[in-house]
Amino acid sequence: RQQGIFIAGGGSGDCSSGGALAFDLEYARWLDDHQRHINNLRVAVIADMGDDELRILVESVLLHYDEFFRLKNLATKSDVFHVLSGMWMSPAERFFMWLGGFRSSEILKVLASHLEPLTDQQLMGICNLQQSSQQAEDALSQGMEALQQALSETLAAAAGAGPLAGAGNVTNYMGQMAIAMGKLSTLENFLRQGDLLRQQTLQQMHRILTTRQAARALLVISDYFSRLRALSSLWLARPRD
């Protein structure tokens, strides 16, 4: 688990019936497969392989991400709280987690110093992508805060009408809890929108950059998250006095 990148999945399994455990197993498989894709890409970059061959490897990594997002969507339907908790990530990754994954705007910041030289058009494209990603993240974060507030208010209204109250209050209690369930169901949509933003950021980055720059970007992203996993392992193995 110290290898790979920021997201889970892999294989052809269906997480919709297996819940959290199935997703965790798919996560481990995805990381193994991801490392194989990254190793092949790294060898090709070092060997200065031609753009046509390199493009195939870059697209294979991006397709691998697409497979993860499909699997994660199934897992979200099965157990949204498990996906949102990030317990399938390493501790250091969870520290940076946003809506069950990475912040697109932060990843673009990580890449900024590794993609030079960029043309003026590319630089503008990356800056616009980072700005639009930040705006989308802010909007989703505000939506999550509004959901938490609405859910809290609904539960507070139900608090005085618990099962030990009279029949009328019990009916009110059940009604309020039904409303809370309805509000909570929108949580899945927030996670899906977060993943859609992540997926679109990778795709747009690929369109802005040259094939060789995109390959380098994918390697930088992979190395960044590998270091987060390594940091987690060092932290967990530290001496405790």
Domain with 198 in it: 19-236
Assigned domain for 8 exists: no
pLDDT, tens digit, 9 for 90 and up, residues 168-204: 677 888 888 888 888 888 999 999 999 999 999 999 9
DSSP string of the chain? --SS-S----SS--TTTTHHHHHHHHHHHHHHHHHHHHHHHHHHHHTT--HHHHHHHHHHHHHHHHHHHHHHHHHHHH-HHHHHHTTTS-HHHHHT-BTTB--HHHHHHHHHTTS-S--HHHHHHHHHHHHHHHHHHHHHHHHHHHHHHHHHHHHHHHHTT-TTS-HHHHHHHHHHHHHHHHHHTHHHHHHHHHHHHHHHHHHHHHHHS-HHHHHHHHHHHHHHHHHHHHHHHHHHTS---
Assigned domain for 195 exists: yes
pLDDT, tens digit, 9 for 90 and up, residues 88-137: 999 999 999 999 999 999 999 999 888 888 999 999 999 999 999 999 99
Assigned domain for 14 exists: no
Overall number of domains in the chain: 1
